Amino acid sequence: MKKPLRAIVVDDNLAMRMVLRDMLEGSGHQVVAEAENQDEALKAYAEHKPDLVTLDLSLAQGDGLSVLKALRQLDANARVIVISGNSQKKVVELVKAAGAADFLAKPFKIEELAAVVERAAGA
């Protein structure tokens, strides 16, 4: 693994945020913030300027695709891994076209998360 990454976890489900935090921190990375909606995600990104963002597509306020596009406007180099239960081919293509570094389908294993984080870190 390269140097530890500073990450923000964006998901409207507290349990999923906790799982992602545990998995990322267990892999040696640092979670610098969590967000449950679009406003919190954009504020946290501007404040912390992380190396990586994990982003759910379904949010209670706003949606992941809008967050992804806004993050890419804030920082063209933002590395965002979209994590969603909706893994239809057209959805994956849409998020990749919007600038996502990678896509991870829920449910996932820690090894799968580690692999997409490694790929994103090398991007």
Residue range 48-102, pLDDT digits in tens: 999 999 999 999 888 899 999 999 999 999 999 999 999 899 999 999 999 999 9
Going by pLDDT thresholds of 50, 70 and 90, the confidence category of residue 3 is confident
Q: To 10 degrees, the CA torsion angle through 89, 91, 97, 101?
A: -90
In a domain, 93, yes or no: yes
In a domain, 111, yes or no: yes
In a domain, 106, yes or no: yes
Q: Check whether 2 has a pLDDT greater than 80.
A: no
Domains of the chain: total: 1
- Can you tell me the mean pLDDT for 38-44? 95
Give the position of tokens 């992380």. Answer: 50
- CA-nearest of 122, 110, 56 to 83 is 56
- Class of residue 56 by CB neighbours under 10 A (exposed 0-12, middle 13-18, buried 19+): buried
Q: How far is CA 67 from CA 9, 53, 102, in A?
A: 12, 11, 15
14-40 residue pLDDT tens: 999 999 999 999 999 999 999 999 999
Q: What is the CATH number of the domain that holds 23?
A: 3.40.50.2300
Q: What pLDDT is stored for residue 60 in this prediction? A: 82
In a domain, 1, yes or no: no
pTM for the structure as a whole: 0.94
Q: ∠ CA(39), CA(117), CA(101), 5° rounding?
A: 60
Going by pLDDT thresholds of 50, 70 and 90, the confidence category of residue 123 is low
Q: Check whether 1 has a pLDDT greater than 60.
A: no
Domain containing residue 92? 6-122
What's the one-letter identity of residue 48? H
Q: Check whether 122 has a pLDDT greater than 90.
A: no
Return d(Cα 75, Cα 63) in angstroms, integer. 18
